[in-house]
Chain A
Amino acid sequence: MSESRFRGTDRYVATDDLMMAVNAAVTLGRPLLVKGEPGTGKTQLAEEVALALNRPFLQWHIKSTTKAQQGLYEYDAVSRLRDSQLGDARVHDIGNYIVKGKLWEAFTTEIQPVLLIDEIDKADIEFPNDLLHELDRMEFFVYETRQVVKARHRPIIIITSNNEKELPDAFLRRCFFHYIRFPDKETMERIVNVHYPNLKKRLLSEALEAFFEIRDVPGLKKRPSTSELLDWIKLLVAEDIPPEALRGDQRKLIPPLYGALLKNEQDVHLFERLLFMSRRKKD
């Protein structure tokens, strides 16, 4: 039991509720649906779970054109047609032209794998519905070869969504759900520490201060998230910016290297305007 429990890794800080959700999904063999602001580590979670539990890791990226069938298998009719023209002997076995999808792969691995279905909301609305039976029973039927593919172990399935579309209720019912909240200051400190263990204490606290200040600016089009903070700190370290430069009251300009945090020129303008106004108030 103990080795199948997820407690975060040395690269990934998991909160208690996230651990619980992962462990429940692992134990019951149901998919876990993860939502949250962009940049809070949704995709990374699956990788880390695989690492922590020592399982093979499979990734299925969803695009707007992805169909559910592609996750199961595809029948490569074109190469069969070509082979038949060339008189290849392989042509008699249709099984040679069945290309396995990610779900099939996940069903047939030796050890129970972790399968990430990334950004499920990008696909067509029917996509989740088309996978209901497969995720529920963990089996599917291949028409061309008339075989039933059954999962050897129920794979640990982690699904991420960016909330671009509502997912159907029937699909939600079968999943565990977790919403990754934006980390508070302490959690954020732990996260940064995990990534930059040798960071100077003062730089860290100043940087966090400045970061949360920017996040609190009302009306930003894109608020910076964890991954942006990490990039920014990386830049600060690389450029060797002194902690004093990030100080709120001494700061007359927007923070150095703000390009890592604000990704939109309107946001930069807004922030500049707010700083200008607050400076005027003081004078």
Chain B
Amino acid sequence: MMTDFFLKLRQAGIPVTLTEFLTLLEALSQRVTAHSIEEFYYLARATLVKDERYYDRFDQVFGSHFQGLETLFDEIIGARVPLEWLHKLAELTLSEEDKQWIESLGGWEKLMETFAKRLTEQEGRHQGGNKWIGTAGTSPYGAYGYNPEGIRIGQETSRHRRAVKVWDRREFRNLDDTLELGTRNIKIALRRLRRFAREGAARELDLDDTIRSTARNAGWLELKMVPERHNAVKVLLFLDVGGSMDDHVRVCEELFSAARGEFKHLEYFYFHNMVYEGLWKDNRRRYTEKTATLSVLNTFGHDYKLILVGDATMSPYEITYPGGSVEHFNPEAGDVWLSRLLTAWPHAIWLNPQPQNRWSYIPSIQMVRELMGERMFPLTLEGLEQGIRALQRAR
């Protein structure tokens, strides 16, 4: 029974290790609890869960395991609708008139409301058609279909990628800094970042080394200096989210998570495709809680190093024209804003998750690269290393 519980926790995505599980067993054998289920629950939680973010998941797994309720797992994984309903089975294209007709269906609020209602009404898998939740239909709820105000469920990538306007507004994911640094790749990247966090002028007396050198020098005093021990590097991280960045969510999460652990002075902001007058810190509230780029410019000093992460894959209008943004009307063009950023923070690089051999085929990448003064690097280990070297170079 215990082993099953352990496995279920892992399945639910809680990073539990064998050591912790053994600790729990040890605690049980030492009779820390008085054999009540509540005490056992507290004990198990203190032993197995090391982050309050997982408390909720843990509670659900615990509940389901110890009361025989199996079905709560849906909620844990976050998909209330079974994913196989939404598997891509057919495609659909609509004419302009159809699009306009669908647009008239009502606002966002109403959609969510009906969505909840529909979910309770619906009982089976559905495909096509225009009411139920499923795939390839024109109902506003579902995936792989077309509806300008649709709610997308369980579809990983955007399909109308190159359209100048993004039609369906979806819930953007927050980059999850909780992601484990599992891959060896990112650990190496972490080391690279760390090295650049440790450098500075040698100003502090290194007592140990001075003594050692003096002794080696037969008593002649030899002073040794070391750089002050600090993580003084200040980093501003601007991340592109949503749209074409969906393909790169994983690698960005890993980078973000590594950076969060590494720098004391790390500030991050999100943008979409291109930086304009507003940035945001929380994707769920991106429409209500925007930070003015101007105030960001004024808040952080020149000594911050700027790292932009984005695929720079967009329509050229988004860079060069006022009002070119896919999401809102921007009074000033993206390139104006980008050059402002570069003036404020001369140490800047752009990390691009797109494979480098594709860059030359996408005009917008070329444009951004030019704006950045060639300081665009692929989001790979090698690219990261080059980028960090470029950041360190005096300008």
Contacts and interface: CB of A to CB of B under 8 A. Distances in A.
The judgment on whether A and B are partners is yes
A169 B180 CA distance: 9
Interface in B1-24: 15, 17, 19-20, 23
B30 interface: yes
A124 B230 CA distance: 8
B30 A21 contact: no
A166 B260 contact: yes
B23 A28 contact: yes
B39 to A, nearest CB: 6
Contact of A64 (B177, B208, B262, B264): B264
| Main SS at interface, chain A | mixed
Nearest to B266: A165
A83 interface: no
Contacts of A169: 15, 17, 180
Interface string B38-75: 11001101110111100100000000000000000000
Contacts of B55: 179
A178 interface: yes
Interface-centre pick from A23, A78, A175, A177 (highest chain B CB count, 10 A): A177
A17 interface: yes
B32 A33 contact: no
Contact of B32 (A24, A173, A177): A24
Given A17-B42, A20-B43, A125 B50 contact: no
Contact of A173 (B20, B45, B207, B289): B20
A173 B19 contact: yes
Contacts of B39: 16, 20
Interface-centre pick from B46, B50, B289 (highest chain A CB count, 10 A): B46
B47 A24 contact: yes
B211 interface: yes
Given A17-B45, A28-B23, A28-B32, A77 B207 contact: yes
B24 to A, nearest CB: 9
B129 interface: no
A168 B229 CA distance: 20
Nearest to A173: B19
Interface in A163-192: 164-166, 169, 172-179
Interface-centre pick from B33, B50, B230, B289 (highest chain A CB count, 10 A): B50
Interface string A6-25: 00000000001100110111
A32 B46 CA distance: 9
A179 B52 contact: yes
Interface in A18-45: 20-21, 23-25, 27-28, 30, 32-33, 35
Contacts of B45: 17
A65 B20 contact: no
Nearest to B231: A124
Interface string B255-275: 001001110100000000000
Contact of B261 (A23, A30, A166, A178): A166
A125 B233 CA distance: 14
A165 B30 CA distance: 33
Contacts of A64: 230, 264
A100 B326 CA distance: 63
A35 B229 contact: no
B47 A176 contact: yes
A14 to B, nearest CB: 12
A177 B49 CA distance: 7
A175 B26 CA distance: 14
A177 B46 contact: yes
B202 interface: no
Nearest to A20: B42
Given A16-B38, A78-B207, A28 B43 contact: no
B286 to A, nearest CB: 15
A166 B289 CA distance: 26
B212 to A, nearest CB: 10
Given A16-B38, A20-B39, A20-B43, A172 B50 contact: yes
A173 B17 contact: yes
Interface in A50-88: 64-65, 77-78
A180 B46 CA distance: 11
B46 A21 contact: yes
B27 interface: yes
Nearest to A22: B46
B52 A35 contact: yes
Interface in B185-233: 194, 207-208, 211, 229-231
A176 B46 contact: yes
29 contacts: A17-B42, A17-B45, A17-B46, A20-B32, A20-B33, A20-B39, A20-B42, A21-B42, A24-B46, A25-B46, A27-B27, A27-B30, A27-B32, A28-B26, A30-B23, A32-B46, A78-B207, A124-B231, A125-B194, A125-B261, A165-B260, A166-B260, A166-B261, A169-B15, A169-B17, A169-B180, A173-B17, A177-B50, A219-B289
- The 10 A-B pairs with the shortest beta carbon distances in the complex, nearest first, are A20-B42, A179-B52, A21-B46, A172-B50, A17-B42, A176-B46, A177-B50, A166-B261, A24-B32, A27-B32
Interface of B: 15, 17, 19-20, 23, 26-27, 30, 32-33, 38-39, 42-43, 45-47, 49-52, 55, 177, 180, 194, 207-208, 211, 229-231, 257, 260-262, 264, 289
